[in-house]
């Protein structure tokens, strides 16, 4: 289909959500080609360092041929650097692989393109997706559009910066330990970490320690729902991917929530959370309980086994295999966090450690099952504090409380190991920086989480992009 467009040339990228932009394309008020050019102009002028590769010629060709009747017809999107697209750089955000080129395209990107999305280019990531800030030797530091000099989080930091910074309306993300929810919380976006296997990975993606899911960072709940409409469903290259589920966007506003039991937890996973931030989030949690008709349940044992070391060691074992032909000669080409992780864990992974990790996973599975037998929802923070320095290092103090660098990510990775869904909902600001309310549910309950996020969005609309200074 070829559309005619009567609107003027776009001076800046669309500042609303993705769904409204597609609707503008359909009405002829906005042109995909004009929108794409506005995105590239904004990226070129931006100091956020959100993009590291741009595919201008292919994107322009796709925009010219776009069909606005498709779910994402003509929509420019960013693609996280760790995802594969044939012919694009395949660096894993590391100097070690700066010259590597991808030979295949991930299923999620194939489906997005089939639904009309125009792939602008790659958004920056943390190296190998290993930490919750986006700063690498290959690309430098990415900034939070709410406050330059602060991180947008990681590992999907470039995607979060691009969407919250007004460069594109939607960008892809991946979450192996919080890498969608953490940057969403830091930048005021919607970030859904789905049930494990909801959207296929690969082809060619290793299963690793069975923690990573893929998805998106968006400005609205309906944008996320539409993304899952397009991208979910089993694919043979990922045998652990789940059967297709229909009606994500159409079902918004119809999922029952009244009477569901919710526990509000400040120290989920034994985390230490900034008191100033928790004051904002606890009030937001009470608001969500009220508007959704939830029943708050107190005196629930929400203690979990400590799994940070096991999660880190198994992840580093996979990285050691990827770097097997380069390590230790490549040590100086790695970020301090990755280098330290490899040096620290190199002698720790073996059959005994693997067995211990699996027993820890079994213990976590048991505890999570017990918790979700007592409640339907767990409500906590997405991050232990607001966004920290873009250059790092990882903080060890949170709202004045010393808890160690290991406190980063503690709130998010239990859901990665257990495989259940969690969502980060924009819930306000502290010191001018966004804070995210994390809500978790049982496996396969993503529609419920989207429903709760929608109720919050309708009652307390959040800004689609960071305020401009």
Q: What is the DSSP letter of 147?
A: B
Give 168's pLDDT tier (boundaries 50, 70, 90): very high
Give 350's pLDDT tier (boundaries 50, 70, 90): confident
Give 1's pLDDT tier (boundaries 50, 70, 90): very low
Per-residue pLDDT of 83-102, as tens digits, reads 999 999 999 999 999 999 99
Per-residue pLDDT of 224-251, as tens digits, reads 999 999 999 999 999 999 999 999 999 9
DSSP string, 318-329: HHHHHTTTTTTT
Distance, CA of 274 to CA of 308 (rounded, Å): 20
Q: What is the pLDDT of residue 355?
A: 83
The pLDDT of residue 108 is above 80 = yes
The pLDDT of residue 383 is above 80 = yes
Q: What is the pLDDT of residue 311?
A: 72
Catalytic residue status for 254: no
Give the Cα-Cα-Cα angle 315, 321, 326 (nearest 5 degrees): 120
Q: What is the pLDDT of residue 5?
A: 35
Give 106's pLDDT tier (boundaries 50, 70, 90): very high
Rounded to the nearest integer, the mean pLDDT of the chain is: 95
Mean pLDDT in residue range 174-200: 98
Per-residue pLDDT of 416-432, as tens digits, reads 999 999 999 999 999 99
Give 296's pLDDT tier (boundaries 50, 70, 90): very high
Mean pLDDT in residue range 258-269: 98
Residue 243 CA: distances (Å) to CA of 10, 199, 236 = 40, 9, 11
Give 165's pLDDT tier (boundaries 50, 70, 90): very high
Give long-range contacts, CB 8 A cutoff, 24+ apart: 317-326: 317/345, 317/349, 318/206, 318/208, 318/209, 319/128, 319/130, 320/345, 320/346, 320/349, 322/92, 322/128, 323/96, 326/96
Q: Which residues pair with 216 in a beta bridge?
A: 172
Catalytic residue among 31, 66, 80, 113: 80
Pair 232, 249: CB distance under 8 Å = no
Indicate the burial class of 320 (C-beta count within 10 angstroms; 0-12, 13-18, 19 or more).
middle
Mean pLDDT in residue range 257-263: 98
User: How crowded is residue 232: how many other Cβ atoms within 10 Å of its Cβ?
Assistant: 24
Distance, CA of 427 to CA of 409 (rounded, Å): 19
Catalytic residue among 20, 94, 155, 241: 155
The pLDDT of residue 357 is above 90 = no
Choose the weakest-confidence range: 137-141, 208-212, 372-376: 208-212
Residues in the chain: 469
Mean pLDDT in residue range 184-206: 96
Which residues contact residue 219 at a Cβ distance below 8 angstroms, ignoring those fewer than 6 apart? 16, 17, 18, 163, 164, 169, 170, 189, 190, 464, 465
User: How crowded is residue 217: how many other Cβ atoms within 10 Å of its Cβ?
Assistant: 35
Q: What is the pLDDT of residue 3?
A: 40
Mean pLDDT in residue range 28-38: 97
User: Which pTM was predicted?
Assistant: 0.96
Give 7's pLDDT tier (boundaries 50, 70, 90): very low
Catalytic residue status for 147: no
Residue 145: name the closest of 123, 129, 130, 127 by CA.
Answer: 123
Q: Kind and range of the H or E element at 337?
A: helix 336-345
Per-residue pLDDT of 434-448, as tens digits, reads 999 999 999 999 999
Coil, helix or strand at residue 336: helix
Mean pLDDT in residue range 292-307: 95
Pair 38, 10: CB distance under 8 Å = yes
Q: Which domains does the chain have, with CATH numbers?
A: 18-459 (3.90.1300.10)
Residue 174: name the closest of 149, 200, 152, 148 by CA.
Answer: 200
Catalytic residue among 31, 161, 179, 424: 179
């Amino acid at each position: 289909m070829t559309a005619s467009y009567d609107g003027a040339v776009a001076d800046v990228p669309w500042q609303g959500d993705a769904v409204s932009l597609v609707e503008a394309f359909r009405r002829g008020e906005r042109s995909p080609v004009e929108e794409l050019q506005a995105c590239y102009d904004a990226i070129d002028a931006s100091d956020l360092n959100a993009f590291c590769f741009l595919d201008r010629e292919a994107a322009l060709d796709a925009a010219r041929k776009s069909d606005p009747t498709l779910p994402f017809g003509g929509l420019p999107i960013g693609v996280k650097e760790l995802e594969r697209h044939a012919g694009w750089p395949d660096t894993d955000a590391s100097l070690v692989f700066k010259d590597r080129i991808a030979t295949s395209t991930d299923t999620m990107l194939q489906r997005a393109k089939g639904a009309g999305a125009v792939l602008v280019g790659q958004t920056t990531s943390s190296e190998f997706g290993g930490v919750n800030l986006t700063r690498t030797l290959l690309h430098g530091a990415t900034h939070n559009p709410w406050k330059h000099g602060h991180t947008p989080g990681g590992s999907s930091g470039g995607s979060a910066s691009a969407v919250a910074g007004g460069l594109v309306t939607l960008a892809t993300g991946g979450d192996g330990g919080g890498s969608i929810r953490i940057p969403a919380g830091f930048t005021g976006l919607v970030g859904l970490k789905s049930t494990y296997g909801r959207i296929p990975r690969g082809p060619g993606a290793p299963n690793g320690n069975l923690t990573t899911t893929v998805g998106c960072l968006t400005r609205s709940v309906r944008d996320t729902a539409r993304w899952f409409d397009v991208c979910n469903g089993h694919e043979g290259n990922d045998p652990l991917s789940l059967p297709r589920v229909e009606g994500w966007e159409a079902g918004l506003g119809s999922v029952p929530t009244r009477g569901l039991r919710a526990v509000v937890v400040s120290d989920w996973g034994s985390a230490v959370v900034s008191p100033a931030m928790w004051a904002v989030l606890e009030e937001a949690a009470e608001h969500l309980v009220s508007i959704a008709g939830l029943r708050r349940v107190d005196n629930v044992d929400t203690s979990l086994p400590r799994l940070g070391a096991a999660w880190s060691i198994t992840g580093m074992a996979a990285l050691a295999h990827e770097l097997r032909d380069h390590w230790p000669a490549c040590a100086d080409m790695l970020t301090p966090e990755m280098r330290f992780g490899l040096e620290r864990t190199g002698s720790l992974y073996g059959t005994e450690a693997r067995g211990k990790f699996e027993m820890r996973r079994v213990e976590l599975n048991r505890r999570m099952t017990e918790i979700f037998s007592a409640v339907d929802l767990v409500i906590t923070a997405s991050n232990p504090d607001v966004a920290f320095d873009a250059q790092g290092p990882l903080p060890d103090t949170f709202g004045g409380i010393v808890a160690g660098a290991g406190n980063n990510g503690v709130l998010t990775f239990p859901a990665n190991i257990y495989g259940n869904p969690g969502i980060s909902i924009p819930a306000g600001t502290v010191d001018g920086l966004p804070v995210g309310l994390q809500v978790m549910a049982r496996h396969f309950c993503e529609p419920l989480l989207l429903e709760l996020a929608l109720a919050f969005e309708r009652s307390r609309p959040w800004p689609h992009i960071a305020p401009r200074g």
